[in-house]
Structure 1
Amino acid sequence: MTNIEPTLGGTSVRDIVLGNREIVDRIITAIAPTNPEQHGTGDASQAADIRWAVEHSLQAAADSLTGRPNDDELLRASAVRRFEEGSSFSSVIAAYHRGVAVIWEQLRAHAGREDDATLAECARLLFVHLERITSALAADFERTWTVSRLGERDARFAIFTALTQGGDAEGEAHRSGRTLASRYGILVVRLRRAEDSSPGDVIARRETQRLRSAIDSVAGGEVLAVLGAAGGTALVPLRDGGDTIEDLRRALQAGFGRNCTGAWVEAGISEIADALHVAEELLEIALAIRGEGEVHTLDDLLLEYQSARPGPGRALLARRIDGVGDELLQTVDAYLASGGDRRSTAAALHVHPNTVDYRLGRVLTLTGMEATTPEGAAQLRAARVANRLERAAHERLDG
């Protein structure tokens, strides 16, 4: 555009945009539905702060259309205030687009047949204006959202820490304006990461977000969690009438398959710190004896949990199978997993059923525990748990 002050129908574009007070009212009417709570309706939509923002937006649009320097700071400050008051990004952007649409209709109404080139240039400049405003508001919204998110994260972490360490959780919740659930499910989860994944890369961040989304999909937005690429801990509020653990199992299975292993314990607020220790032990037991891919409860691992209590009893129980070779132990595991079915055990191991009988007989000779009797099977199961946990404990000390 070569003319600094372009005209349409003999009237300067600047006067078309700024010279008619009715355009302010039309814009206010147009933007009110985008966010009635913030913009108001009827007389409320004529509030001074709304009118002020629209008038300054018109001034900015007129500057863009006539090639004048444009200071967006006042408009951005107004938008930031809307964000801080709870307006969504989409509602603020929609309001600007509706306002520009009213300006465009005003310009088009004044244009004559000879003004096609000027009108086209006005359209281009309005698009440039919208692009600049949208980009600036997106950056401001991101900053506002980040500050809000950091505050939200800090508040959640303070409550999480208080609950898991026996602190003043009620006080932390009160300070952040939150309400605690009466009971929580404590989920401790471990993810098996891909070999090419590292804590700082995109894959790791994506896995963390997938884990958070899977948990939130079951429990809603009030989960208190510390999660990372390797897993973490989540406190899930329990509500009446729901089967949270089964829903979580399905969500984690769908999202991660056998790459996710977890433990779940339910507790009241005052019991969470102790319940967390139980959940951590259950996860350790599950990884040691059940392998990966499930979320376990205390009911699932009750015998194993009791057998795993640290102390001289566990060490003595573990030593009872120290002299048993890996092939025999593999046979014991398969036999116990099959519920004592020798043919299923043989099929799983790709051997003859008589071979299973022979190996179990060797175990009886070496340990004095007979897998084919209820008492012997229970003793062997407990010994396997104790042995694996003792080995894991020694490996941690050696490492």
Structure 2
Amino acid sequence: MSIAGRPVASSLRARVPALARRVVARLLADLPVYAELPHEEVSGDIADIVQHNLRLFADLVECRRPATDAELAQQRDSAAQRAEEGVPLDAILTAYQVGTTMCLQEAVEGALPDDLAAVLEITEHIMVVQQQLTSAVSGAYLDARRILDSQEHGGRHALMTALLTGESLERFTHPAGLRPAARYLTMTLVLGPHPDEQSQSSGPGADVAARRKIRRVRTTLDHFAGAPVLTALDASGGTVLLPATQPLPWHSANGLCALVDEAARTAGVPITAAAEIAEPVAVAAAVARNTEIVGLVARTGRPPGLYRLSDVLLEYQLSRPSEALRGLAQLLKPLEAKPELLHTLETYLALGLDRRTTATALHVHPNTVDYRIRRIHSLTGLSPARPTDLQHISAALVARRSIPPP
């Protein structure tokens, strides 16, 4: 099929990249919802599906046939993802209409009077494709929304609520229904903000970026478990309950630390997590401990990653309410008015009491480090050079970090 002497299909394929950029630009200009989407999503998923649609139309015109069900799979997947992110269905359908209209205009550009029959045939093809796209996209979108609503209000939500509140699990023991696992890997996650959340600041764009981040974390967890896991996540993090049907390695290529690293990479944000395996009756207590652990990790300045109680034993024990905790913290109170001395002390201990390495890290002369250590001894009566004092200094630093700020 030709227009103005040029084959429509091959000509359209050659102009797909440029046409796709124009379609995306039109969507951003005409549809406020798309203008508020994260840049990563617009330049990635949205641009990819636009190019896919344009190439598909070229194939269908060349073969003079409608699309098959398999050829619309990518569009259905895209619609389901947009449903999870909360993009309105009417905006999605309008975007497809804009794209097919611009595709038709491109295909018949320069048509001559003798090309009327070809123009009518191409128009008929694109109307059929538009009808198929509307049906496929609407169906996939609504199916995804039904699943999401069902999960939110159905048995999985009820089971997680029961586990986290310590309610009786008797109503979940029916053989045909959802049953609790014998043990769960309880995880508390703290999700950092995605750049798109920060750039959008507030409004629909930030909300979409947050839901996109959460969806990617959930997808990674579901893939690891081989089935949907129980989650209660928002933009800042939350709780995950993963059935522990078999031993779960900590440090390995397929272990839990690698799982958290993969979730962080996929979501594009730093993730700090704490984990503990517990039986159903102990899930609530385990989640409470995990929450304390991620708080301790944040206050002690540790990097993102996965932590167990054994990784923060000293900090956890010193964080228990007691007069000794505040007494230890008070040992370094004379340094509060001298932040450079406190920072020097923390760096000196972290670097193994090496004055030259400490000086390099602080960008000062080694003699300055010596002088500051003497000043610390003078103000507090404690010297890192004495083993007993060193123990008290280390404990005092931990106590200062363990006490939550007012």
State the TM-score bracket (shorter-chain normalisation): 0.5 to 0.7
**1:18 aligns to what?**
none
CA contact (8 A) 1:218 1:247 kept: no
* Cα deviations by residue, 1:263-322 (Å, 9 ceiling, x for unpaired): 222322221111111111111111111244233221211111111112322222222222
CA contact (8 A) 2:229 2:242 kept: yes
**1:135 aligns to what?**
134
> In structure 2, how many angstroms separate the alpha carbons of the residues matched to 1:175 and 1:152?
19
Find out whether 1:358 has 2:371 as its counterpart.
Answer: yes
> Structure 2 counterpart of 1:354, which letter?
N
> In structure 2, how many angstroms separate the alpha carbons of the residues matched to 1:256 and 1:120?
45
Length, aligned pairs only: 286
Q: 1:226 aligns with which of 223, 232, 244?
A: 232
**1:240 aligns to what?**
247
> In structure 2, how many angstroms separate the alpha carbons of the residues matched to 1:374 and 1:169?
53
**1:388 aligns to what?**
401
> Structure 2 counterpart of 1:139, which letter?
S
CA contact (8 A) 1:191 1:231 kept: yes
Q: 1:379 aligns with which of 377, 392, 395?
A: 392
1:136 alignment partner, SS class:
helix
Q: 1:346 aligns with which of 334, 346, 359?
A: 359
> Structure 2 counterpart of 1:157, which letter?
H
> In structure 2, how many angstroms separate the alpha carbons of the residues matched to 1:321 and 1:157?
48
Change (3 A) 1:391 1:142: closer
1:157 alignment partner, SS class:
helix
Change (3 A) 1:144 1:210: closer
CA contact (8 A) 1:184 1:237 kept: yes
> In structure 2, how many angstroms separate the alpha carbons of the residues matched to 1:132 and 1:256?
34
CA contact (8 A) 1:253 1:293 kept: no
CA contact (8 A) 1:199 1:205 kept: no
Stretches of structure 2 that go unaligned for 5 or more consecutive residues are 1-71, 77-115
> In structure 2, how many angstroms separate the alpha carbons of the residues matched to 1:120 and 1:350?
73
1:163 Cα deviation after fit: 1.3
CA contact (8 A) 1:226 1:233 kept: yes
Question: Max radius of gyration: which structure?
Answer: 1
Change (3 A) 1:252 1:146: closer
* Cα deviations by residue, 1:4-42 (Å, 9 ceiling, x for unpaired): xxxxxxxxxxxxxxxxxxxxxxxxxxxxxxxxxxxxxxx
Change (3 A) 1:227 1:312: same
* Cα deviations by residue, 1:207-257 (Å, 9 ceiling, x for unpaired): 222333343343343321111222222122333254332222431453467
CA contact (8 A) 2:261 2:305 kept: no
1:180 alignment partner, SS class:
coil
CA contact (8 A) 2:217 2:264 kept: no
**1:311 aligns to what?**
322
**2:184 aligns to what?**
184
**1:104 aligns to what?**
none
> In structure 1, how many angstroms separate the alpha carbons of the residues matched to 2:393 and 2:267?
32
**2:94 aligns to what?**
none
CA contact (8 A) 1:263 1:297 kept: yes
Find out whether 1:151 has 2:157 as its counterpart.
Answer: no
Percent identity of the aligned residues? 31
Higher alpha-carbon deviation: 333-342 or 266-275: 333-342
**1:277 aligns to what?**
288
CA contact (8 A) 1:288 1:385 kept: no
CA contact (8 A) 2:355 2:370 kept: yes
Stretches of structure 1 that go unaligned for 5 or more consecutive residues are 1-88, 94-116, 395-399
Higher relative CO (CA 8 A, sep ≥ 6), structure 1 or 2?
A: 2
> Structure 1 counterpart of 2:393, which letter?
L
> Structure 2 counterpart of 1:185, which letter?
L
